[in-house]
Amino acid sequence: MLSKMLSPVLRVLPALALMTGLSTAAASAETAEGYWQGVQKAGVLRCGAAVAPPYVMRDPASGEYSGFFADLCREFADALKVKAEFVDTSWDNIVAGLQAGKWDLSLALNRTPARAMAVQFSIPAMEYQISLAYNKENPKVPSGATSVADVDKKDVTLAVMSGTAQDKAITAAIKNATILRLPGNDETRLALVSRRADILVDASDTNQLFTQSNPEWAVALNPTPALAKQGVAFGMPHRLSAADVEVLNIFLEEKVATGHVDELIRKAVDEVLKSAQ
């Protein structure tokens, strides 16, 4: 008799436990703090910045950062109502530093599967491809060259910034030529100007700026088939929730859709060309 009386109660207990569990989870979800709320509490949005004009530039005298990704970082900081702080880094360390928590965002990262296993990406701010810049009088570069294979010769040296997406792409494509990996933007251009390297491997828009600044001798080739075509985005820590990622995506989506990113790119390009005069 007692067991019959208890059986309805016993049947209710799992349901009550489930409801209690759901209530606890809901309360926890309501009080859980998102990543950007933590940034707001700190009052600073830390942006990992490796130089690559026109994406990210740094004035050697003042230390001030410019370029359209630096501008977007400041604007996102404004949206969060915090201050933007730039952390100087290299392309070799820009992913590792983000993983280690040294900054909150990495600027101007190419979206690649290998990087996506280490960090999260925002939607792209722009599309990217790699070009080859060279001296049009250089006999090592065939006048009718259209592909990477056309310049993949044993006596050809290609300069590239170490650790960049273009480094990874050209390394996978080259079988015979020599790859000269250098730490920064200035070093790779100096290698081409001094003829230490025959070809400069870089983003097509960056190489376009270089050839526009040196029209008397420099030309650029967008190889066919394309060496790489990727989106350029913000990198975020892997632990961010989907809701946190969406915050940055919504911010960036509007900037792209309204043409504001295009305006920032034009401003950065003008700055680079002006400094080259």
Domain 36-126+230-276 architecture: 3-Layer(aba) Sandwich (3.40)
Backbone phi, psi, residue 215, to 5°: -65, -20
Residues 177, 215: Cα–Cα separation, whole Å: 26
Question: For the chain, what percent of residues have pLDDT higher than 70?
Answer: 88
Q: DSSP assignment of 45-76, as one string?
A: EEEEE--BTTTBEE-TTT--EESHHHHHHHHH
pLDDT at 128: 86
The domain locations on the chain are 36-126+230-276, 129-228
Residues 274, 259: Cα–Cα separation, whole Å: 23
Question: Contact 189/118 with Cβ under 8 angstroms?
Answer: no
Q: Do domains 36-126+230-276 and 129-228 have the same CATH topology?
A: yes
Of 226 and 15, more confident: 226
What CATH fold (topology level) applies to the domain 129-228?
Answer: D-Maltodextrin-Binding Protein; domain 2 (3.40.190)
- Beta-bridge partner residues of 86: 47
Residues 130, 189: Cα–Cα separation, whole Å: 15
Write out pLDDT tens, residues 22-73: 444 433 333 457 999 999 999 999 999 999 999 999 998 999 999 999 999 9
- Beta-bridge partner residues of 221: 132
Report residue 38 as tokens. 């933590």
Of 106 and 206, more confident: 106
Report residue 253 as tokens. 């989506």
Element (DSSP H or E) covering residue 234: strand 229-236
Report residue 94 as tokens. 């820009």
Residues 251, 122: Cα–Cα separation, whole Å: 10
Evaluate if residue 229 carries a pLDDT over 90.
no
| pTM of the predicted model as reported, rounded to 2 decimal places | 0.76
